[in-house]
Structure 1
Amino acid sequence: MDLSFSFFWHQVLASPALLITVILTLCVIFVNGWTDAPNAIATCVSTRSMDVDLAIIMAAVCNFAGVLVMTLINSTVAMTITNMVNFGGDNSLALIALCAALFAIVVWAVLAWYFGIPTSESHALIAGLSGAAIAMQGGIQGINGDEWIKVIYGLGLSTVLGFVMGFATCKLVSILCRGMDRRRTDGFFRIAQIGGAAAMAFMHGAQDGQKFLGVLLLGICLAGGSDSAAGVDLPIWMMLLCSVVMGVGTSVGGKKIIKSVGMDMVKLEKYQGFSADLAGAFCLLLSSVFGIPVSTTHTKTTAIMGVGAVKRLSAINFQVVKEMLLTWVLTFPGCGAIGFLMAKLFMVVFQ
């Protein structure tokens, strides 16, 4: 299939449904950069290792690099998202259902941002697509179970491994630095934490950027008459488009999310912030290599909780944790239901 930019542009001009799909996909990428990417730099800002405006610029640049570099190396995450649902049948109706799913994600993400709660656009994306596919197919045959099971693996991986790695990394750093003058180590960990935050932002782009590339690729394939993106290589221009939009979204800022994750949940010192960033980045790298779509929000926040648990469990603000868990639990049924209802509505209105 021809995926040159000129061919894509002609498709967009010829298909209003594809135009809307592209606009909504870019809106979702922008919102992700706006609401989800700040998680990567939250600890760096909360420990005052870096000014918030400089941290946001750094995150935008690293998100850009993460989308581009990791997709060139390994695009398995994008393919998992693309193959997770089966809209089947009429491709024009499938495009309408895809638009409905993307609309649901934007609504859900903006509501979460408004209340300052770090939701997961990754799970919103998966839920919205699944809800729309079920509406389109009239049952669960719209879901590809083999690909969906990777989402369940990712949910467990990002939660358990994030906490364990955060705890283990912080414990190791504490042992290695035992007896050292805290004032003398602060300078090192300030620089190290900036590096850790950059790695987290890079891996956020690598994970979440690929997910949305998969959606954009699916929309283009549907408009081109194919109901599958299997075997299609992601073009460079698509990676650049996704990474630029995500970078712009991050630069707009996400100070509410930074406050919730980095300041309200656990009070961190510089070495603790470094430990959380290192643990989170490693978990995201591992997931990306094996093609498992995980939530960067889940990974980073559970790593922070693991770091806080090294000192004592009471160091964690469980009220903030409770709010996050509630949001995560509600995302699958909530965003899935919105995707389902919007797909039904769009198919009636635009058919």
Structure 2
Amino acid sequence: MDLVGLIVVVGVALLFTYTNGFHDSANAIATSVSTRALTPRAALAMAAVMNLLGAFLGEGVAKTVSEGLIATPEGHDGLVILFAALVGAITWNLLTWYFGLPSSSSHALFGGLVGAALAASSTVHWNGVLDKIVIPMVLSPMVGLVLGYLVMLTILWMFRKANPHKAKRHFRVAQTVSAAAMALGHGIQDAQKTMGIVVMALIAGGYQEGNSIPVWVKITCALMLSLGTYAGGWRIMRTLGRKIIEMDPPQGFAAEATASSILYTTAYIFKAPISTTHVITSAIMGVGATKRVSAVRWGVAKNIVVGWFLTMPAAGIVAGLIWWATDLAVG
């Protein structure tokens, strides 16, 4: 029974990774597509490859997810918790994708984990949730907003005497690099989160001891994230690329450079699983505010931020209901 449950949980985890890919593909490429630095298909292909590479660069985020948030019971009970958490996260991903809302797949997953654990009366490591999830969730958008503003101001000052048309051409080229860096950071962060869930499932099913990540887990999670990314998330891409601000190539470069630097810093120094959606969206807002505050469509931004705060509780509630229904059906 545990083997069947394990196969189901791993399959659902890979499905979550796929939805994560197409839900978050806009994070990496929306700015470069909207400024015409890259064609949509070329941007998606580049993002898929960089996501694939990023998935193999480090394990710190995966270990935070697998051991720092909840205590997963062994056997059937642990697998049911993970199954419910993943279904809750997938549900929120699909709902927000349908409405074109750039919410966090990562926080949907974390909310699902906590909601399912609470429903099952399992242990939640609240210190880990606070230190590794809640505090970075609040701080990273603030850092993205301020840093994006400062980076854009620096670019404006450095190129204040440059020919605007030539500068934009050069920044279109530079955006291919910054968009690739953003996609690589997305792979480092988001593929590892699912790797952590699969490791938890292997431990719960009795097929692994310790939190090391098997090579096959890295490969399958990386491939599914990459395939999902290539499928594209056009609804969310329109929101990030056009509805918050009208971007030009220097602004797109500044937003991507800001967001990718935050992703690398948090992954390698703090080993904190942060949201790529939060940092790129806030960086876009900060960059846009350098033109004038009214250049940012704050009504759209407000709806996005409200969605951020709803993500964890909404996914948690769905996960709790799924745990109850699954436990009743198979328990």
The bucket for the TM-score relative to the shorter chain is over 0.9
Q: Do 2:81 and 2:117's aligned partners in 1 also have CA atoms closer than 8 Å?
A: yes
Cα distance change, pair 271–89 in 1 and its aligned pair in 2 (3 A): closer
Aligned to 2:95: 111
SS at match of 1:233: coil
Counterpart amino acid of residue 98 in structure 1 = L
Q: Do 2:70 and 2:113's aligned partners in 1 also have CA atoms closer than 8 Å?
A: no
Q: Does 1:269 align with 2:248?
A: yes
Q: Distance in 2 between matches of 1:90 and 1:207?
A: 26
Aligned to 2:32: 44
Q: Deviations over 1:84-137 (max 9, x none)?
A: 343454521110121111111111111111111111010000000000111112
Q: Deviations over 1:245-294 (max 9, x none)?
A: 11111111111111100111111111010000000000001110110111
Q: Does 1:243 align with 2:227?
A: no
SS at match of 1:37: helix
Q: Distance in 2 between matches of 1:131 and 1:269?
A: 41
Q: Distance in 2 between matches of 1:88 and 1:256?
A: 35
Aligned counterpart in structure 1 of residue 138 of structure 2, from 151, 156, 170: 156
Aligned residue pairs total: 329
Cα distance change, pair 63–90 in 1 and its aligned pair in 2 (3 A): closer
Any gaps of 5 or more consecutive residues in structure 1? 1-12
Aligned to 1:59: 47
Counterpart amino acid of residue 33 in structure 1 = G
Q: Distance in 2 between matches of 1:26 and 1:350?
A: 22
Counterpart amino acid of residue 249 in structure 2 = K
Aligned to 2:172: 190
Any gaps of 5 or more consecutive residues in structure 2? none
Q: Distance in 2 between matches of 1:85 and 1:172?
A: 39
- What is the root-mean-square deviation of aligned Cα atoms in Å? 1.5
Q: Distance in 2 between matches of 1:254 and 1:59?
A: 12
Q: Do 1:65 and 1:202's aligned partners in 2 also have CA atoms closer than 8 Å?
A: yes
Q: Does 1:210 align with 2:192?
A: yes
Q: Does 1:200 align with 2:179?
A: no
Q: Distance in 2 between matches of 1:183 and 1:87?
A: 56
Aligned counterpart in structure 1 of residue 78 of structure 2, from 61, 86, 94: 94
Q: Distance in 1 between matches of 2:293 and 2:243?
A: 15
Q: Distance in 1 between matches of 2:201 and 2:311?
A: 23
Q: Does 1:330 align with 2:314?
A: no
Q: Distance in 1 between matches of 2:66 and 2:162?
A: 50
Cα distance change, pair 174–217 in 1 and its aligned pair in 2 (3 A): same
Q: Does 1:147 align with 2:128?
A: yes
Report the more deviating stretch, 156-165 or 55-64.
156-165
Q: Distance in 2 between matches of 1:89 and 1:40?
A: 36
Aligned to 1:28: 16
Aligned to 2:60: 76
Q: Do 2:79 and 2:205's aligned partners in 1 also have CA atoms closer than 8 Å?
A: yes
SS at match of 2:55: helix
SS at match of 2:319: helix
Q: Distance in 2 between matches of 1:204 and 1:339?
A: 25
What is the deviation of 1:190?
0.6
- Percent of residue pairs bearing the same amino acid type: 34
Q: Do 1:97 and 1:346's aligned partners in 2 also have CA atoms closer than 8 Å?
A: no
SS at match of 1:311: coil
When the two structures are superposed, what TM-score results if normalisation uses the length of structure 2? 0.96
Q: Distance in 2 between matches of 1:89 and 1:210?
A: 21
SS at match of 2:290: helix
Aligned to 1:306: 286
Counterpart amino acid of residue 62 in structure 1 = M
Q: Do 1:153 and 1:292's aligned partners in 2 also have CA atoms closer than 8 Å?
A: no
